[in-house]
Amino acid sequence: MKKLFVLLSLSFLFITLTDAHPWKPRHHIIVDTDGGIDDMKALSMLLASPDVHVLAVTVSSGVLDARSAYVKVKSLLDSYFHNGIPVGINRSGVNNAQVKFKPPDFKWGNESGINPASAPEAVNVISEILRYEDSKLSLVCLGGLSLAAKALKEIPEFRSGIKGIIWSCEGTGMTDGFNYSVDIPSAKFILKSGININAVSTGSGNQVQYSEDFITGLNGINTPYAAKISEFLSSPSAKSHKFSFLISDELIPLFMHFPSFFSVNQTGSVNEVNVLKTDSLLFGIYKMLKRETIKRNQVINDLPSDPSFYFDDIAPFVTSIINRYGEEEWQAGVLANELHRHLGVYAIIGVKMGIRVREYFNVGVDEFEAVSHAGSMPPLSCMNDGIQVSTGATPGHGLLKVINDNPLPKVEFKHLNHKIAVSLKPDINSKISGELKEINFIYGLDSDIYWELVRKNAIKYWRDLDRHDIFIIEEIE
């Protein structure tokens, strides 16, 4: 295992990731999938990377029918707590291809309560995103080109609003693979449309498989995306299926992040993309699943995860907090409390709320506006510091507004055309505020004992409160 990654690391030294905007992702995309198991892995990698903003996912018929694919995709997004990413169905898409192998029987997430009949039309989802997103998008097609053709015909701003299409053409050439045969008229229409197309061949004879060492290594990556792929690759259904361990549609996120791994042959507006560096693919996947595709800090390289770096009272809990809630919540919590100049409960609540909302929309920092109802009076207003650090929604960026009327542990967040209200559950808020009032009554704000107890409570709630369980999220629009 160690030998494998040392060799991969050496080869990776020659790969330079293009420096992007200090905090914005380079890739803004909509992903269209037909529900194949390789799509689950590719979509997970795209969702994992902080250098990619997945604005929406659409489903079309192909490996699965569109309704079944919708259930798979929605359950996957919900399992990652990305409940705010819209999912649309291409109900009029066709599938003329012959599915030669039944996909592995693997659930992408909890499917209960998911109703495809309530899903919006895919073209409407794309049109809505184009209306509100300023950055030019790429349409990533992991299956056929039916939706791409439909969007080009029915959405006037589609051609001008996208940078191009990244298509998994799957065969040894663009016209002999399954994804081409799904809807040949649509494929011909798109290939002749003049839109910039990167057609990534996933079957050019240079196919790579996931190795046992790599699968074992996934267990050392503390992200839900690595855990999901590891769960599948270790499952009986994967081990009994011919194509489970082949890298196929995963080449799309690899090409987006590491173009030097590939050769490109251009003919007009169409680029035929083939794998060039097969020995680097597994390490590229490893980097994406570790979320190490961009530099996310501005001054420091990283915050240590070694407990000995921290004060004695919090050191015993560092590893468990990181393992349970992830490095982003930990790092935001550390920075927020340094900014706040004391370790406070409501600052921690603000951090957990901000990370939860970023998770909900699957976005980085500075991606939404926030209106806080926590007011300007401590201790409740301390939430605002946690919100700022965890989301980047600061007054300096013009993204945070504080309302002082009737203070509540509630913040409204707006991302593109979606607005949600997030509130701390009343019973938890009552418990926290009651404890703070009690120790204030007994010891007073000027007492060292008061601040010691506040610190002790903050560590306790940081350790014990799961951000997925403590908030009420309501969709406003």
pLDDT digit string, tens, across residues 243-294: 899 999 999 999 999 999 999 999 999 999 999 888 899 999 999 999 999 8
> What is the residue extent of each domain of the chain?
27-290, 307-475
**pLDDT band for position 206 (cuts 50, 70, 90):** low
Tokens at residue 38, please? 């390789």
Answer yes or no: is pLDDT of 53 > 90. Answer: yes
**pLDDT band for position 6 (cuts 50, 70, 90):** very low
The burial of 264, by beta-carbon neighbours within 10 Å (0-12 exposed, 13-18 middle, 19 or more buried), is given as middle
Residues 262, 263, 268: CA angle, nearest 5 degrees: 125
Q: Among positive and negative, which fits the CA dihedral 255, 259, 260, 266?
A: positive
Answer yes or no: is pLDDT of 14 > 70. Answer: no
Cβ atoms of 372 and 402 within 8 Å: the answer is yes
**Average pLDDT score over residue span 324-344:** 94
**Average pLDDT score over residue span 337-342:** 91
- Give the C-alpha distances (Å, rounded to integers) separating 226 from 88, 220, 355, 425, 451: 25, 9, 19, 31, 40
What mean pLDDT is reported for the chain? 92
Cβ atoms of 17 and 294 within 8 Å: the answer is yes
- Cα separation, 171 vs 177, in Å, equals 4
pLDDT computed for residue 477 by the predictor: 81
pLDDT computed for residue 17 by the predictor: 44
Answer yes or no: is pLDDT of 11 > 80. Answer: no
**Average pLDDT score over residue span 184-213:** 88
**Average pLDDT score over residue span 196-216:** 85
Tokens at residue 243, please? 């194509």
Cβ atoms of 293 and 222 within 8 Å: the answer is no
**Average pLDDT score over residue span 335-344:** 92
pLDDT computed for residue 207 by the predictor: 75
pLDDT computed for residue 1 by the predictor: 46
- Cα separation, 142 vs 360, in Å, equals 23
- Give the C-alpha distances (Å, rounded to integers) separating 462 from 153, 445, 454, 476: 51, 22, 12, 28
- Cα separation, 99 vs 97, in Å, equals 6
Pick from 157-161, 277-281, 309-313: least confident: 277-281
**pLDDT band for position 23 (cuts 50, 70, 90):** low
Q: 98 — alpha (psi -120 to 50), left (phi > 0) or beta?
A: beta
Answer yes or no: is pLDDT of 5 > 70. Answer: no
Task: Classify domain 307-475 at the CATH class level.
Answer: alpha beta
**Average pLDDT score over residue span 461-466:** 98
**pLDDT band for position 241 (cuts 50, 70, 90):** confident
- Cα separation, 446 vs 468, in Å, equals 35
**Average pLDDT score over residue span 321-328:** 96
Cβ atoms of 436 and 460 within 8 Å: the answer is no
Pick from 237-246, 358-367, 417-426: least confident: 237-246
Domains 27-290 and 307-475 in one fold: no
Map tokens 């406070």 to a residue.
Answer: 344
pLDDT computed for residue 103 by the predictor: 82
Distance of CA 257 to the CA centre of its chain: 15
Terminus-to-terminus CA distance in the chain, angstroms? 49
- Give the C-alpha distances (Å, rounded to integers) separating 349 from 249, 321, 428: 39, 14, 10
**pLDDT band for position 24 (cuts 50, 70, 90):** confident
Answer yes or no: is pLDDT of 174 > 90. Answer: no
CA proximity to 250, closest of 195, 287, 300: 287
Question: For the domain with range 27-290, which CATH number is right: 3.40.1260.10, 3.40.1280.10, 3.90.245.10, 1.10.8.60?
Answer: 3.90.245.10
pLDDT computed for residue 9 by the predictor: 44
